[in-house]
Every structure is written in C-alpha cells, then in structure tokens.
Amino acid sequence: MPKISIEDLKKIKEREKQRMVLREGQHRAKITVHMGTCGIAAGAREIMTLFRDQIAERDLSDVILTNSGCAGLCAKEPMITVEIVNQPPVKYISLNRAKAMRIFEEHVLAGKAVEEFALARGSETMAT
C-alpha cells in the first residue's frame, strides 16, 4: 500500500503554499498598517492585531499583512493602506476597531473601498 497518493501530494502542496505565500510575492490584497511612533501611540497595534486575527480566523491565503513607517500625516493616525491587485492603493485615516472591521469586510474581502473613511487613492509622487 502506498503511504501517500498523488492527491495527498497536491493537498500538502496547497496547505503549505498558504503558509509560504508571504515568500512568493503572490497575493490578492495587501494591507499596510502604518506603524511609526505616531501610529503606535494612536493605537495601530490594536488595528494590526485585529487584521491578524481576522486573517487567521478566515484562513485567508491571499491577503498579506505588513507594516511600514509613518505615512507623514501623524495627526490622522492610525492609518492603513489597502492595496487590491490591479487597483490603486487606498489610504484610510483615523481608524478604530469598528472602522477597521468594516474596511476589512467591504474593501479587503469584497473589493469595494469604504469611501467615508478614505483619505485618498493612489501613491505619493516620487522624485525621479
């Protein structure tokens, strides 16, 4: 009797791929929590934890959660940037748990930006 079959091989592959998706650079959505000193002071960690728990609970493999430094608008922290593949990134400001939850459900999962919390679409212009 064979110990594993080709189907098992595929199952292992799928299971592990989810865990390794971070290293592949393939994802549908990316949430960046801005965690400069200002962001952390305003409660960014709580937002980060919320997203983390949500992703784990729903067992999502195509959402990347990362953090970056201060976005420059310290007065409006906590801030996050949500990026859906092939769509311009959207920055959200002055978040709390409830707002973050709605953004997660409507934008990250359903793909529609929550306009009332959004600051702007797109990225900053870079000097070339």
Residues that bind other proteins (CB under 8 A): 1-6, 8-9, 12-13, 15-17, 19-20, 22-23, 25, 27, 30, 32-37, 40, 48, 52-53, 55-57, 64-69
- Alpha carbons 110 and 101: distance in angstroms, whole number: 12
Number of separate helices (H) and strands (E) present in the chain: 4, 5
Residue 33 beta carbon to other proteins: minimum distance, rounded to whole angstroms: 7
Q: Residue 31 or 90: which CB sits closer to other proteins?
A: 31
∠ CA 20-22-27, rounded to 5° = 110
The side-by-side arrangement of strands in the sheet containing 80-84 is 63-68, 29-34, 80-84, 90-92, 118-121
Q: Residue 29 or 90: which CB sits closer to other proteins?
A: 29
Residue 21 beta carbon to other proteins: minimum distance, rounded to whole angstroms: 8
SS3 118: strand
Q: Residue 59 or 116: which CB sits closer to other proteins?
A: 59
Residue 94 beta carbon to other proteins: minimum distance, rounded to whole angstroms: 19
Q: Is the peptide bond before 78 cis (omega within 30 degrees of 0)?
A: yes
Residue 116 beta carbon to other proteins: minimum distance, rounded to whole angstroms: 26
